[in-house]
Amino acid sequence: MADEAQAGLPARTSPSRIPGGNLLLRPGTQTPPIEFNLIDGSLWSLHKRDPAALTLLSFRRGNFCRYCRGHLAQLDSLVPAFEERGIEVVTVSTDGIEEAQRLRLEHGLNRLAIGHGLRQDDIEACGLFASERVMNGVRQRFAEPALWLVRPGGQLYANFQSSMSCAPNDLNLLLEGIDTLAAHGFPDRGNA
């Protein structure tokens, strides 16, 4: 921040508005105080996490989305690799507990911490893209895929967002990048 002031640039301490009124959370900003329940019954709170390095928070559309299920299967298989690097991994959607439990059982997601009940105000506070669909006469609003890397204390390190389901992150490439960034002390990127 001192470098920004010396260069005559404004400090970036808050999210930026993007067209349509959504907030885009920039790396280096404080994340909203998100809390949700995990399928094991415990309460998960982003600001109370204390991983060795980072928290990886994967927002997903819901169990109805085949792209998200594929992404979560890959993420579940890589949980040990992330944990070896000091990264805690969790995923959440607007699904209710029954649907989240079904996701775990039907797709064998045994390593991944699975959250449920992401609230609409959290979707907005996080600046996530959202969509709606009508299923069996019921309108559902859900978050589009996003993946955050968050420092201990709740500061956003990286924000990967998509406005559609068919553009998930390559998690093996992300692991490779994390190794490179860790070797350099996790320097800030994308906050200019």
Report all structural domains of the chain as residue ranges with CATH numbers, in order of start: 33-180 (3.40.30.10)
At 183 the pLDDT is 93
Mind listing the pLDDT tens digit for each residue in 15-64? 454 444 457 789 999 999 999 999 999 999 999 999 999 999 999 998 88
Question: What do you get for the CA distance between the two ends of the chain, in Å?
Answer: 10
Bridge partners of residue 178, in order along the sequence: none
Of all residues in the chain, the percent with pLDDT exceeding 90 is 67
Helix, strand counts (H, E) of the chain = 5, 11
- Other C-beta atoms lying within 10 Å of the C-beta of residue 77: 14
Distance CA 71, CA 107 (A): 11
Distance CA 175, CA 140 (A): 33
Of all residues in the chain, the percent with pLDDT exceeding 70 is 88
- Does pLDDT of 6 surpass 60? no
Backbone torsion region of residue 186, taken as left when φ is above 0, otherwise alpha when ψ lies between -120 and 50, otherwise beta: left
pLDDT band per the 50, 70, 90 thresholds, residue 7: very low
Mean pLDDT of 129-153: 89
Sign of CA dihedral 172, 42, 124, 136: positive
Average of per-residue pLDDT values in the chain: 87
At 12 the pLDDT is 43
At 164 the pLDDT is 79
Lowest mean per-residue pLDDT among 54-58, 93-97, 130-134, 177-181: 130-134
Residue 137 token pair: 């006469």
**Number of alpha carbons in the 13 Å side-chain half-sphere of residue 21:** 2
